[in-house]
Amino acid sequence: SVEVDRIIRDCKLELGNSLFTIDLIPLGHGSFDVIVGMDWLSKNKAVIVCHEKVVEIPIKEGGILRVHEERIWRAAKSLMNAKVDEPRISDIPVVRDFTDVFPEDLSGLPPQRQVEFRIDLIPGATPVAKSPYSLAPSKMQELSRKL
């Protein structure tokens, strides 16, 4: 598993003559690899043509951008040279608004607790379809009339 603690939003990705916006997650493995996820591909209505090793992306001008493996490597290499400003904790609006609640150093997860809180799930179990509280029949009719 990979732990991720930051996202670099609204990076520019140039493929061919087209410019796209993408959110990047640094993986911290010594090199900067770009993994284009399903969310980005579906947002840009991309089609993966497996037997050709091509990704087809519709572009605003009305055509289709065909990205081959070699082009992807060139784009990734140009991203490796990009400089990124590291976000600071004080840049997060909620933290800035409630400085008295948040500690100065948010360097990681909270410390290990004596009691581990969790809800054990049973594989294949379905949620209970039952109202959390019962109503008198007259109140139930009134509620269904309003809804």
Q: Are 57 and 64 in contact (CB under 8 A)?
A: yes
* Residue 41 CB contacts under 8 Å (≥ 6 apart), including other chains: 48, 55
Sign (positive or negative) of CA dihedral 78, 80, 83, 85 = positive
**pLDDT for 77:** 47
Mean pLDDT, range 85-93, rounded to an integer: 65
Question: Confidence band (pLDDT; 50, 70, 90) for 70?
Answer: low
Percent of the chain at pLDDT exceeding 70: 68
**pLDDT for 15:** 78
C-alpha span between 13 and 19 (Å, rounded): 6
C-alpha span between 44 and 23 (Å, rounded): 13
Compare 103 and 81 and report the one with higher pLDDT. Answer: 103
Neighbours of 46 (CB within 10 A): 17
Compare 85 and 45 and report the one with higher pLDDT. Answer: 45
Percent of the chain at pLDDT exceeding 90: 5
Distances (CA, A) of 84 to 24, 48, 64, 73, 108: 11, 29, 30, 20, 21
Helix (H), strand (E) at residue 71: helix 69-80
pLDDT tens-digit readout, 131-141: 667 788 888 88
pLDDT tens-digit readout, 21-55: 888 877 665 555 567 788 888 999 999 888 888 88
Q: Are 41 and 33 in contact (CB under 8 A)?
A: no
Distances (CA, A) of 113 to 110, 116, 119: 8, 6, 16
pLDDT tens-digit readout, 2-13: 556 677 888 888
